[in-house]
Amino acid sequence: MIGDGTRCVHGGHEPGVPGTPMHPGPVLSSTFELGLPSDPTPADFYGRSDNPTWRALETAIGKLDGGECVVFASGMAAIAAVLRLAGRDGALVLPSDGYYLARSLAHSELVPLGVEVRETPTAAPLPSLDGAALVLLETPSNPGLDVADIAAAAAAAHAVGALLAVDNTTATPLGQRPLELGADLVIASDTKALAGHGDVVLGHVSARDPELVARLREARSRGGAVLGPMEAWLAHRGLATLDLRLARQAQNAAALVPVLRAHPAVSDVRWPGDPADPAHAVAARQMRRWNGVLRFTLASEAAVGEFLAASRLIGSATSFGGLRSTVDRRRRWGDDVAEGLLRFSAGCEDESDLVPDVCAALDAITA
């Protein structure tokens, strides 16, 4: 059994050939030599269809997911490909409290085409799936950090002939392997922890069924939502340290949770790794390890402003899973949550610096 750290460092890299780079650079090419008309078409013939730098990253991620990976230009491009794949076959069942653009895409582009969309909260049991073609879960959900039972959802979806897709962005493939739990498709925004350095936007879908994989590749080629080789290469470089980064981020989150719970300015702390969390039992059953993404609520927008102004380390940004600790006030983006709800992404700072900084910033709140 190969460990997470080894897989992250070695995944997608070929055995060394003397005199060639140990870390080959990105293959920056739209155009590939085709040879004579009678020669077979090579794997690489045009940059929108395939590229060796994509394949290296796809090999690495696919091994972690336990399936075959297809990279996309963003997490949303990956979600769009999956929703379009299934939308013509029946209803789409989406989380009512997950990433807002998945719902927005379904309602603004698919409903007008006659696709039925049903929404259900992550923490609730699934409603009737009669007539469903695809169930999408997001677990742990963003920003609420609620957890859905993947194996139970897979059984319910398969009983009516629907596919189960899981948005695995917050967990990462080290934290959770939805394909092993019965899901047909795993989707992620690798813009977040997987690439991990805040310098690229990309996503992927992995599946085990070769027909689904082929349809995803065709959808990518036709839809054109492809990433540049440079983005793939940067993400592959970032992936090498995912195991280390998650370990530090989870350590920091575990240290912050009791401090947050005890502070009078804070309510509503949620982190699936916390044994006191309502989602902990399900999360512990299906997740392999924790990460640094948690949520809590301050009294108001003004309180969030005071917290940010008083902190020396916490950045204000709408992404997560990066090296620096950041918060995002989700009401700003229209999520149906309290004014002061913050998604907190614990970064890779030292616990001994981060915890006192957060404490001091909370103590500075007067609003």
Ligand X SMILES: *Cc1c(COP(=O)(O)O)cnc(C)c1O
Angle of helix 210-223 versus helix 75-87 axis, rounded to 10: 110
The residue of the chain with the least Cβ separation from ligand X equals 75
Q: How far is CA 341 from CA 78, 288, 293, in A?
A: 27, 27, 13
For residue 267, the one-letter residue type is S
User: C-alpha 334: how far from its chain's center?
Assistant: 20
Residue with smaller CB distance to ligand X, 165 or 303: 165
**Which of 54, 99 has the CB closer to ligand X?**
99
* Residue 321 DSSP code: S
Nearer to ligand X, 80 or 213 (CB): 80
What is the distance between the alpha carbons of residues 330 and 344, in angstroms, rounded to a whole number? 10
CB of 295 to ligand X, least distance (A): 13
153 or 362, CB closer to ligand X?
153
Which chain residues interact with ligand X by CB under 6 A? 74-76, 99, 138, 142, 167, 169, 189, 191-192, 201, 203
Least distance in angstroms from the C-beta of 119 to ligand X? 15
CB of 78 to ligand X, least distance (A): 8
Cβ 76 to ligand X shortest distance, Å? 4
Give the integer Cα–Cα distance in Å for 219 and 239.
Answer: 25
Strand order in the sheet with 163-167: 68-72, 203-207, 185-189, 163-167, 132-138, 91-95, 117-120
CB 79, min distance to ligand X, A: 6
Nearer to ligand X by C-beta: 149 or 306?
Answer: 149
DSSP secondary structure letters along 283-296:
HHHH-S---SEEEE
